[in-house]
Amino acid sequence: MCGIFSVIDRNMTRMDGSSIKAALSSMDERGSGEGAGYVAYGIYPDFPDCYALHIFFDNIVDHKSKVDELLSKWGVIIHQEEIPTYEQPSLKRQHIPWRYFFKPYKDLMVGSLTPEEDIIIKTVMDINSGIDGALVFSSGKNMGVFKAAGWPEDVANFYRIEDYRGYIWLAHNRYPTNTPGWWGGAHPFNLLNWSVVHNGEITSYGTNRQYVESNGYKCTMHTDTEVVAYLFDYLGRRHKLTEELIVKALAPPFWDEIDSMPLSKSELNRAIRLIYGPALMNGPFGIVVAQSDGIVGFTDRIKLRPLVVGDDGTKLYISSEEAAIRRVDPNIGEIYMPKAGEPVIGRVVK
Amino acid sequence: MSLGSVPLRYKVDIDREQCMRCMRCVDNCSYGAFRNEEGKLIVNSRKCTACHRCISMCPRDAISLKDRPVDYRAHPLWTSEAREDIINQSRTGKIVLAGMGNAKDFPSIFDRLVLDACQVTNPSIDPLREPMELKTHIGKKPSRLEFEETVDGDIKVLNEIAPNLELQTPIMIGHMSYGAISLNAQRSIAQAVAKVGTFMGTGEGGLHESIYPYQDNTIVQVASGRFGVDINYLERGAAIEIKIGQGAKPGIGGHLPGEKVCSDISCTRMIPYGSDAISPAPHHDIYSIEDLAQLVRGLKEATEWKKPVFVKVAAVHNVAAIAAGIARSKADAVVIDGFRGGTGAAPKVFRDNVGIPIEAAIASVDKKLNEQGIRNEISIIASGGIRNSADIAKSIALGADAVYIGTAALIAMGCRVCGNCYRGLCPWGIATQREDLVDRLDIDSGAQQVANLINAWTYELSELMGAAGINSIESLRGNRERLRAYMLDEGMLNVLQVKPVGA
Amino acid sequence: MKLDNKIAIDANDIHYTQLNKLIRKAVAEKATDIVIKNVLGQRFIASGLRAEINIDIYGVPGGDLGMFMNGPICNIYGNCEHAPGNTMDYGKIIVHGSTGDASAHSMRGGEMYVRDRIGYRGGIHMKEYDQKKPTLVVGKSADDFLGEYMAGGLILLLGIGQEAPFYGRGIGSGIHGGRIVIRGEIEDKYLGLGVKRLDMDTSLLNEVQSRIKEYCNYFNLDATKLLDENYTVLGPASSRPFAGKYTWE
């Protein structure tokens, strides 16, 4: 399903969302007007150490107090407010988007090396699977997801996306089959600082889901893409795999290629396939994953979805179509299509 | 050979007292089960396929046929079929090919559904005297109308309504390509649909010149091999159908073996003589739903938005969501082909094990599209194992707009469902390209028989509708109230959204 | 002698249906040349178009450029997205840049020249019949599955300025007609199932030479060196690649 667009400014210069909106809207043909979304990093400089929890409430009266209560148990709410939105004639408001800036009490999570993150994950999973009428769709630091059911331009105008300035942007235009009109089903999907946009379908979803769920994640979004966020968190944060290695686990080389590699490389790849076999993703996909220090884009092993990269040294773009990149940067220097399963990585220079 | 031979599949017996040694059986059997040795009729039962050609041509009814004349030791799991497939594959190391639709003993859902009739509280209608409308429109419909009153007080519709196909009966004939079937078979079908006012599919075999006179009743197919597809072909059809999959073998491509690619077929498909015509499993320009939407638009753009475009998928687990995705494209109709759908040849493991029944697929697609509020914007065409007018009435009541029939139309031309289509020796002149065999099928009679069948079913449909107090087919569509289920489990009732009998 | 009749179209921010209407209108007005400026992502340009006409396209056309096209010569000054020349019948597509995946998909006639690179599955299921013989010439490189399922025509990959491998795995997988000609030697591991190495016969050599010259002509290159190189010729091991896979029930 869908079209994707992403950009990182390696110098962490922040860009406002207007060009991202223009780029994504130029790929309207790839969507159906039933889901679009944006994520930006670096948008909350006033709360850099807080987890920004973006939540869809069905209404404030019935559901919000339960979330307040749960959050107050596990930490402190530094600030909260309704996310500003602006009515659009062709976008039906189904939820009230709200944001909390939240600091967990890390001493409450014992036996964990990453207690803060584990509290956030637990809280997100508890709210999404346990509190009706509330859905956390963004939970990282100094970043946030903005999404809804609608065309890219309407969703952007609804959140007035040009008011946000980020050094990384991911954007997604959805063509749903399963949960049209459901705001939670729009991309990007996020957990902690991981955000994912995805074009395609993950035919190994049943296997991947078992794997992440047996390791403490709960799939609540009724769609295949959320497992990618959990796989990145699980392999990256808990198993300490680098992005390159995560991509090797998710879209590994074929066995005949592994067999013909030099010994040390073939041993590494063989070990990854054996140990992380349940993380292997099958089916057509073009995916971009963001973290606060960079983005990584990759496709499935036999290149069933398009992905185009534009690079001018400072900015790196990854998109479904070249036209979207040129919409933003008509004279971009280098444009190419990455090889199947090969990660394209853009990191901030610190 | 350590495996030896397996028992006879069929045993042919000649009643020698009745037989007058006219040798018509020898002439008619293309499989070589009979031979004439100096006036003596010799039978080789091992070559028999139970096509019944000899039986139907014998003037004395002297031929009898027995299915599986030799018993194995009875065993509920290790059926004779299971044993024989293993013997076959241990001999050859190959994939087992089989013809026609799913041959496994899955219970038929159609046969567990019963239709309704009026008694007392509402009158039934006599279709012979009262109006009875089976006219069906296949195509995209806008979700609502916008009006404007003109200066003279007329009311004008502002929407531009996309072209729809108008069917006089909700029965169409599905896609069987020239190549899979003979040209005479295709011409019979073309004449028949033109006569009764409905449509036929070309299959992925191009459009032969002799079908051009019937092109206004023809739906041209664009499948993964793109055989015979050029702009002229697209413009000739009344509609264009993108074939993604087929019920008999979901998820795999097809291929017409090179020996069937005669010069005429090579010309119609626009491929080299004698070369395999391979349709890949996917369309290689469709790897995702938005790619499908793009091909739909591409076909419409090429034909200047004048042709309805259908998308045919096999009924698989996720068919409802897939159909919902198709409905969001510019496609005008979704065709769902159930797992009993016929085929010339399919790997047996697919034919018998992959896909879901059409009844469940129709109901779940109809339900999903209703839930999403877009059901009336797209038409649903159901196919795969439709045997009679009751199956059609039930399909429509479960949510279909119209049906495609395939095997039934072939039976109307002589086919006896022997399932050996892939051998290219069809003695009825249907699934063969051998000229002497093809000549056996007379086009005019074939056309008349197919037309008769559609007419007969159309009569029966109107009788069934009349009995149910319905005089327009729209009122049967998706009308589960007029169905009840007999001995289906609760899970299935939920899928079908049908109540049990008595409820 | 036909008189030149050049019509210019500005494609800036117009939808492809509108753009194609303008193209058809220009054809109806007996244009000999159409120049389209500011193309950015519009799909299906010249789709299904039957005309002997020259179309210059500046910018990045969207997917399925020239789909079902029959006749026009399209010069593209920019890259193409996926599947240019999809099921094209006749005409030419000359790309001054690179193209996406499934370039020349199911192309049944005509010619496509790509100056630089093509993506995955280039020339997949190209097929020939009678006088119609599709040709795809690529200057620099192609990704995996080049000429998969190929059923006729010619794919010529020149690898200009590239060191081998300038191609991916699975070349000609399932090929059952046509020829794939690639500059230099190719290791077996890059070949797909059902591919056979063949000798360059005279008629193929002539064809390859004339295609190289035409390619060089379009992109202002000197053909001499390319004409001197050795080429690997690949073709089908059989016109019936799957014949041995099945047994009857």
Listing DSSP states for chain C in one string gives -PPP-EEEEE-TT--HHHHHHHHHHHHHTT-SEEEEEEEES--STTTT-B---EEEEEEE--SSTTTT-EEEEEEEES---S-TTTT--EEEEEESS---TTTTTT--SSEEEESSEE-TTTTTT-B-BTTB--EEEESSEE-SSTTTT-EEEEEEE--TT-PSP-S-S-BTTT--EEEEEEES---GGGB-TTEEEE---HHHHHHHHHHHHHHHHHTT---HHHHHS-EEEEEES-S-TTGGGEEE-
Which of A226-235, B128-137, C112-121 has maximum average pLDDT? C112-121
Two structure tokens written together for A120:
């956030």
Residue in chain A nearest B285 by alpha carbon: A304
Residue C1 clears pLDDT 60, i.e. is over it: no
CA distance C57 to A19: 25
pLDDT at A1: 53
Residue B1 clears pLDDT 70, i.e. is over it: no
Same domain, B213 and B318: yes
Backbone angles phi, psi at A99, to 5 degrees: -135, 140
3.50.30.30, 3.65.10.10, 3.60.20.10, 3.90.1720.10: CATH of A3-347? 3.60.20.10
- CATH (domain of B89): 3.30.70.20
Interface contacts (A, B; CB < 8 Å): 47
Three-state DSSP at B346 gives strand
Any CB–CB contact under 8 A between A175 and chain B? yes
pLDDT band at A114 (very low <50, low <70, confident <90, very high): confident
Tell which of A30, A177, A179 to mutate to test the B interface (max B CBs under 10 Å).
Answer: A177
CA distance B66 to A325: 70
| Residues belonging to chain B with any Cβ–Cβ distance to chain A shorter than 8 Å | 287-290, 293-294, 297, 321-322, 324-325, 328-329, 372
Residue in chain B nearest C106 by alpha carbon: B226
Q: What is the DSSP string of A29-86?
A: GG--SS-EEEEEES--TTSTTSEEEEEEES-HHHHHHHHHHHHHHHEEEEEEEEPP--
> Could you tell me if residue B125 is inside a domain?
no
Burial classification of residue C200, based on how many CB atoms lie within 10 Å of its CB (0-12 exposed, 13-18 middle, 19 or more buried): middle
- Placement of tokens 């070309």 in the chain: B202
Residue in chain A nearest B329 by alpha carbon: A32
How many C-beta atoms surround the C-beta of residue A155 within 10 A?
A: 30
> Could you tell me if residue B427 is inside a domain?
yes
How many C-beta atoms surround the C-beta of residue B314 within 10 A?
A: 28
Same domain, B54 and B199: no
Two structure tokens written together for B43:
């039978």
pLDDT at A267: 95
Note whether C144 contacts A323, CB cutoff 8 Å: no
Strand pairing of A344-347 and B171-175? unpaired
Residue B99 clears pLDDT 90, i.e. is over it: no
The complex scores an ipTM of: 0.91
- Per CATH, the homologous superfamily of domain C52-162+173-241 is Glutamate synthase, alpha subunit, C-terminal domain (2.160.20.60)
Residue in chain A nearest C121 by alpha carbon: A303
Please state the rounded mean pLDDT for residues B328-336: 96
Q: How many helices (H) and strands (E) does chain A have?
A: 10, 18
Any CB–CB contact under 8 A between A335 and chain C? yes
Any CB–CB contact under 8 A between C85 and chain B? no
Q: Which residues of A are catalytic?
A: 2
State yes or no: B54 annotated in a binding site. yes
Chain A: nearest CA to C40, how far in angstroms? 5
Backbone angles phi, psi at A120, to 5 degrees: -60, -45
Residues 267 through 286 of chain A touching chain B, CB cutoff 8 Å: 284
Chains with 3+ CB–CB pairs under 8 A to A are B, C
pLDDT band at C2 (very low <50, low <70, confident <90, very high): low
Residue in chain C nearest B258 by alpha carbon: C240
CB-closest option in C24, C86, C240 to B257: C240
> Could you tell me if residue B112 is inside a domain?
no
Note whether C247 contacts B97, CB cutoff 8 Å: yes
Please state the rounded mean pLDDT for residues B473-488: 95
Per-domain residue ranges of chain C: 52-162+173-241
Tell which of B226, B286, B290, B425 to mutate to test the C interface (max C CBs under 10 Å).
Answer: B226
Chain B: nearest CA to A75, how far in angstroms? 40
> Could you tell me if residue B152 is inside a domain?
no
Residues of C in contact with A329 (CB under 8 A): none
State yes or no: B58 annotated in a binding site. yes
Chain A: nearest CA to B313, how far in angstroms? 14
Residue B253 clears pLDDT 60, i.e. is over it: yes
DSSP tag of B307: S
Residue C3 clears pLDDT 70, i.e. is over it: no
> Could you tell me if residue B107 is inside a domain?
no
Residue in chain C nearest B348 by alpha carbon: C249
Any CB–CB contact under 8 A between C20 and chain B? yes
* pLDDT one-digit tens code per residue, A157-199: 999 999 999 999 999 999 987 777 789 999 999 999 999 999 9
Tell which of B96, B270, B348 to mutate to test the C interface (max C CBs under 10 Å).
Answer: B270
Note whether B97 contacts C64, CB cutoff 8 Å: no
pLDDT at A294: 96
Chain A: nearest CA to C58, how far in angstroms? 12
CA distance C173 to C145: 7
Any CB–CB contact under 8 A between C167 and chain A? no
Last residue of a domain, one of B77, B94, B111: B94
pLDDT at A223: 84
pLDDT band at C84 (very low <50, low <70, confident <90, very high): very high
pLDDT band at B153 (very low <50, low <70, confident <90, very high): confident
Give strand pairing partners of C183: C231
State yes or no: B267 annotated in a binding site. no
Note whether B324 contacts A178, CB cutoff 8 Å: yes
Any CB–CB contact under 8 A between C193 and chain A? no
Residues 479 through 498 of chain B touching chain C, CB cutoff 8 Å: none
Please state the rounded mean pLDDT for residues B412-418: 96
Please state the rounded mean pLDDT for residues B316-327: 95
Please state the rounded mean pLDDT for residues B129-136: 93
State yes or no: B415 annotated in a binding site. no
Two structure tokens written together for B126:
């006599």
Two structure tokens written together for A198:
């995805």
Chains with 3+ CB–CB pairs under 8 A to B are A, C
Please state the rounded mean pLDDT for residues B178-190: 96
Note whether A177 contacts B322, CB cutoff 8 Å: yes
pLDDT at B277: 83
pLDDT at A321: 96
Note whether A175 contacts B293, CB cutoff 8 Å: yes
pLDDT band at C233 (very low <50, low <70, confident <90, very high): very high
Per-domain residue ranges of chain A: 3-347
Name every residue whose Cβ is closer than 8 Å to that of residue C215 and which is 6 or more positions away in sequence: C113, C137, C139, C156, C158, C221, C223
Note whether B298 contacts C174, CB cutoff 8 Å: no
Residues of B in contact with A29 (CB under 8 A): 290, 293-294, 297
Radius of gyration of chain C (CA): 18
Residues of C in contact with A323 (CB under 8 A): 40-41, 60, 62, 81
Chain A: nearest CA to B448, how far in angstroms? 43
State yes or no: B418 annotated in a binding site. no
Same domain, B78 and B201: no
pLDDT band at B128 (very low <50, low <70, confident <90, very high): confident
Please state the rounded mean pLDDT for residues B148-165: 90
Note whether A337 contacts C189, CB cutoff 8 Å: no
Q: What is the DSSP string of B265-301?
A: HHHHHT--TTS-EEE-SS-TT-SSHHHHHHHHHHHHH
Cis omega (within 30 of 0) for bond into C165: yes
Please state the rounded mean pLDDT for residues C100-117: 97
Residues of A in contact with B328 (CB under 8 A): 32, 34, 175-177, 180
CB-closest option in B88, B284, B297 to C125: B284
Per the structure, the count of domains in chain B is 2
Note whether A178 contacts B321, CB cutoff 8 Å: yes
Tell which of A27, A337, A339 to mutate to test the C interface (max C CBs under 10 Å).
Answer: A337
pLDDT at A282: 92
Please state the rounded mean pLDDT for residues B149-174: 93
> Could you tell me if residue B129 is inside a domain?
no
pLDDT at C7: 95
When the pLDDT of each residue in chain B is averaged and rounded to a whole number, the result is 94
pTM: 0.92
Any CB–CB contact under 8 A between A32 and chain B? yes
Any CB–CB contact under 8 A between C192 and chain A? no
CA distance C160 to C137: 12
Tell which of C14, C81, C106 to mutate to test the B interface (max B CBs under 10 Å).
Answer: C106
Same domain, B226 and B78: no
Last residue of a domain, one of B74, B94, B114: B94
Any CB–CB contact under 8 A between A259 and chain C? no
> Could you tell me if residue B85 is inside a domain?
yes
pLDDT at A216: 87
Two structure tokens written together for C110:
């005509």
* pLDDT one-digit tens code per residue, A199-218: 998 999 999 999 999 998 98
* pLDDT one-digit tens code per residue, A54-73: 999 999 888 899 999 999 99
pLDDT at A93: 92
- Placement of tokens 């496709």 in the chain: A299
* pLDDT one-digit tens code per residue, C128-167: 998 899 999 999 999 999 999 999 999 999 999 999 999 9
Domain interval for residue B239: 170-500
Please state the rounded mean pLDDT for residues B284-312: 95
* pLDDT one-digit tens code per residue, B22-45: 999 999 999 999 999 999 999 999
pLDDT at A62: 85
* pLDDT one-digit tens code per residue, A314-326: 999 999 999 999 9
Give strand pairing partners of C129: C132
> Could you tell me if residue B324 is inside a domain?
yes
- Placement of tokens 């850099």 in the chain: A48
How far, CA to CA in Å, does B315 sit from each of A277, B59, B320, B335, B381?
A: 30, 44, 9, 9, 12
- CATH (domain of B349): 3.20.20.70
Residues 56 through 95 of chain B touching chain C, CB cutoff 8 Å: 85, 88-89, 91-92, 94-95
Chains with 3+ CB–CB pairs under 8 A to C are A, B
Please state the rounded mean pLDDT for residues C189-205: 95
Q: Which amino acid is at B134?
A: L
When the pLDDT of each residue in chain A is averaged and rounded to a whole number, the result is 94
CB-closest option in A27, A303, A335 to C101: A303
Please state the rounded mean pLDDT for residues A260-276: 95
